[in-house]
Amino acid sequence: MSAKKSPKIQKDHSAELTAVHKPSKEFSKKARIPSMAAYEKLYKHSIDKPEKFWASEAKELTWQKPFSKVLDWKAPDAKWFVGGKINVAENCVDRHALGSRANKAAIIWEGEPGDKRTITYAQLHREVCKFANVLLARGVKSKDRVLIYMPMIPEAAVAMLACARIGAVHNVVFGGFASEAILDRLEDSGATAIVTADGGWRRGKVVALKPTVDEALKKYGKVTNIFVVNRTGNDVSMKSGRDHWWHEEMENASAKHEPKGFDSEHPLFILYTSGSTGKPKGILHTSGGYLTGTYATCKYIFDMRDEDVYWCTADVGWITGHSYIVYGPMANGVTQVMYEGAPNQPDFGRFWKMIEEHRVTIFYTAPTAIRAFIKAGDEFPDKHDLSSLRLLGSVGEPINPEAWHWYYNKIGGGNCPIVDTWWQTETGAILISPIPGATPCIPGTATRPFFGIDVAILDDEGKECPPEVQGRLVIRKPWPSMTRTIYGDKARFKKTYFADYPGLYTAGDGAKRDKKGNFWIIGRLDDVLNVSGHRLGTAEIESALVAHPAVAESAAVGRPHDLKGQAVAVFVSLKLGYEASPELESELRNHVGKVIGAIAKPDDIHFTPALPKTRSGKIIRRLLKELVTTGTISGNVTTLEDMSVIDHLKSLLAK
Ligand code: PRX
């Protein structure tokens, strides 16, 4: 076990902000799980007999061949629903389109400029079948990797579902990532096809996508087909024989396609996420278990109903978009809103206007967005009727009590439970969250584990921490939607998630449990930052910086930020012959944006002749973190090789 230090005990927030909010009687009466007693009963059953619980959830899905065994577990390898054959797209589309939900809206979409489309389940079925046929006609086969780099348009979901339908493995890359990030992912996954668009709308401007793909392809030659949606009309070059317009391909494609059943453990997608090295991890999810997890969490945590209009504001480029826009909600046959652009287009009233207009009942967003709305002012939500809402959700980072209260009162009108959902790219589905008709909500805590999820907080020796003492969050039992591996790197998978405590999944988060059994997530224990709810590895930012000719060495750390949660602060020492200047500062900032993407651009760049290091030459980030957080250094500096560096850094920040 590694000798990481357990963080210190965290004191509770003030009584006023930690007020307990019980669900209303009216809400509970209609909910699937109507009371804490009902939650406790089902939770106990799900932990005593997890295989029984998960099997009964899985059986609500359509299997082409029933599974013969629920779980095959030899840590860290899990096989769920062994022997079962399933088609994920059939579950998300066909069983609604060919049944009573055929003419129900699957997606109510708005483009940023204001264009609108409504797509029924029957129409979605046609589109998915057609694109599946397009892929097949162009030679895309089961298990081939398909990179998807799209704006938030319905075709993104169609492309994902079409891949799932034919057993191809999609790798969605967030549309804000730069060409080098695309290149890394192409190389790591070995993708042979790409689905993209000419561009997308963001903050009133066209963000070009196909040209960014072309840039990446200068250094990668394995892609034989690119499908390009015509969204924004910007100039793009199309390479004959390789590049195809989506609408031209779809025009003649057949809308008939029989979904084949794939093994329950058939790979569904790879999604890259940041870790503690410069190389992102390709998190692999498989079919039957992932779908069961996303389906069941939508059903119980969002308490999805046929009459609901659900809206998750995430981008499909992140795990939230995979699990809670595409797979979970569609497996439940819900109607959902999808939006292409920025929350402040044309102004900060956009979300509230859309909630009013589409009568949204369930709204799922991130604390960073809520904080931006608070800053923009109450006049925006005040102009709109938000009374259709019945349930709110939060994801991506701890929600601070101030943001929680604003969300609860201003958006929820004081009568919508807030499900603060804790989970990760690796977990596939929500693992800790209130159950809305049952769990009393307390601002800042994700409260209790989902059914079948056995969460514990352990100290360095592997002993369970007593209440109120912070330790490391682990999951003791396997669950169906857990990642199966890091694509192409089983050793890293074992080392990252299963090495700290043999057989247990380590999440990488610090947390504590209060006396009532609620889990409070404190934040990452590794070198991963959470900027606006997105994971960024400090090592990724550092390796981008040292790739610039002026940079000799760099260290990236997080500092608290009012809106983003964490901001990126970097310390840079320059090579001989280069001088610090405002021009170089902005050049470095843009350079990181170009290598990784705009979300990784450092907020603060500090030039320094040297970085604090141990005698063996390791950069001591802990000191830099303390410095940017508190403005001083009070921690242990005895391991430091050169004490004068600290004085220099202190004076640097004092300027
Ligand atoms: O630190 C936790 C934080 O986000 C990390 C996972 O990031 P990612 O894989 O990008 O997935 C984000 C969307 C699920 C976690 O390790 N995190 C996520 N949700 C919460 C959270 N921290 C506190 N409270 C949450 N509700």
pLDDT value for 309: 98
Residue 12 lies in a domain: no
What residues pair up with 241 in beta bridges, in sequence order?
Answer: none
Whether residues 600 and 498 fall in one domain: no
**Quick check: CB of 364 below 6 Å from ligand 1?**
no
Let me know: does 191 contact 223? Beta carbons within 8 Å. Answer: yes
- Whether 590 and 518 map to the same domain: the answer is no
Query: Quick one: tokens of 649?
Result: 């850094």
Q: Are 285 and 407 contained in the same domain?
A: yes
Q: In what order do the strands lie in the sheet with 362-365?
A: 116-120, 105-110, 335-339, 309-312, 362-365, 391-395, 418-421
CATH code of residue 562: 3.30.300.30
417 and 566, same structural domain?
no
Of 86-100, 213-227, 292-306, 550-564, minimum mean pLDDT range: 550-564
Quick one: the chain helix, strand, coil %, rounded to 5? 30, 25, 45
Separation of 9 CA from ligand 1 center, angstroms? 21
Measuring CA to CA, which residue among 526, 537, 516, 541 is closest to residue 593?
541
Residues 118-124: what's their mean pLDDT?
A: 98
Q: Is the CB of 425 under 6 A from ligand 1?
A: yes
Cβ of 420 below 6 Å from ligand 1: yes
Using the mean position of ligand 1's atoms as its centre, give its distance from the Cα of residue 104 in Å. Answer: 32
- Does a structural domain hold residue 10? no
Residues 117 and 133 in one domain: yes
More confident residue, 49 or 5: 49
Ligand 1 atom with the shortest distance to the CA of 528: 1
Nearest CA to ligand 1 atom 22: 397
Do 377 and 295 fall into the same domain?
A: yes
Can you tell me the distance from the alpha carbon of 101 to that of 208, in angstroms, rounded to the nearest whole number? 36
Query: Does the structure show a pLDDT above 60 at 636?
Result: yes
CA 319 to ligand 1 centroid distance, Å = 10
Contact criterion met (CB below 8 Å) for 61 and 291:
yes
* Closest among 645, 639, 628, 541 to 588, alpha carbons compared: 541
In a shared domain, residues 455 and 559? no
424 Cα: distance to centroid of ligand 1 (angstroms): 5
Q: Is the pLDDT of residue 8 over 80?
A: no
Task: Report if residue 100 sits inside a domain.
Answer: yes
Q: Is 479 in the pocket of ligand 1 (CB under 6 A)?
A: no
Distance separating alpha carbons of residues 267 and 285, to the nearest angstrom: 6
What average pLDDT does range 145-157 have in this prediction? 98
274: domain CATH number is 3.40.50.12780
Q: Which residues contact 276 (CB under 8 A, 6 or more apart)?
A: 526, 527, 528, 537, 538, 539
Quick one: pLDDT band at residue 12, thresholds 50, 70, 90?
A: very low
- Pairing verdict, β 225-229 and 243-245: parallel
pTM summary value: 0.93
Domain containing 544: what range?
528-654
For ligand 1, say whether the CB of 159 is within 6 Å of any of its atoms. Answer: no
Question: How much is the pLDDT for 16?
Answer: 52
Residue 7 lies in a domain: no
Res 448 pLDDT > 50: yes
Residue where a domain stops, chosen among 503, 525, 547: 525
Distance 523 CA to ligand 1 centre (A): 8
Which pLDDT score is estimated for 15? 55
What mean pLDDT value characterizes the chain?
94
Whether residue 2 lies inside any domain: the answer is no
Instruction: Please check whether residue 23 lies inside any domain of the structure.
Output: yes
Ligand 1 near 398 CB (within 6 A):
yes
| Structure tokens given for 605 | 């760049």
- Asked if residue 13 belongs to a domain, the reply is no
| Shared-domain flag, residues 513 and 594 | no
Nearest to 530 by CA among 318, 227, 232, 387: 318
- Ligand 1 centroid–CA 423 distance in Å is 5
What's the domain count of the chain?
2
Give the H or E element holding residue 119: strand 116-120
Ligand 1 within 6 A of CB of 400: no
pLDDT the model gives residue 478 = 98
Q: Is the CB of 310 under 6 A from ligand 1?
A: no
Instruction: Report yes or no on 5 lying in a domain.
Output: no
Atom of ligand 1 nearest to the CA of 425: 9
Distance 255 CA to ligand 1 centre (A): 39
Tell me if 521 CB under 6 Å of ligand 1: yes
Task: Please identify, among 525, 547, 582, the residue that sits at the C-terminal boundary of a domain.
Answer: 525
Atom nearest to 394 CA in ligand 1: 26
For residue 10, the model assigns a pLDDT of 41
Cα(145)–Cα(167) distance, integer angstroms: 10
Q: Based on the domain organization, do 332 and 388 belong to the same domain?
A: yes
Same domain, 566 and 479: no
pLDDT digits (tens, 9 = 90+) for 377-405: 999 999 999 999 999 999 999 899 999 99
C-alpha angle 154-157-161 in degrees, rounded to nearest 5: 140
| Predicted pLDDT at 303 | 98
**Inter-residue contact 404 to 418 (CB < 8 Å):** yes
Residue 646 pLDDT? 81
End position of a domain, from candidates 474, 492, 525: 525
Same domain, yes or no, for 472 and 614? Answer: no
Answer yes or no: is the C-beta of 540 below 6 A from any ligand 1 atom. Answer: no
The string of pLDDT tens digits covering residues 347-380 is 999 999 999 999 999 999 999 999 999 999 999 9
> How far is the centre of ligand 1, averaged over its atoms, from the C-alpha of 396 (Å)?
4
Residue 391 near ligand 1, beta carbon < 6 Å? no
Do residues 428 and 520 share a domain?
Answer: yes
In this prediction, residue 9 has a pLDDT band, given cuts at 50, 70 and 90, of very low
Q: Whose CA is nearest to atom 21 of ligand 1?
A: 397
The two beta strands, 116-120 and 145-149, are unpaired
From the CB of 395, is ligand 1 less than 6 Å away?
Answer: yes
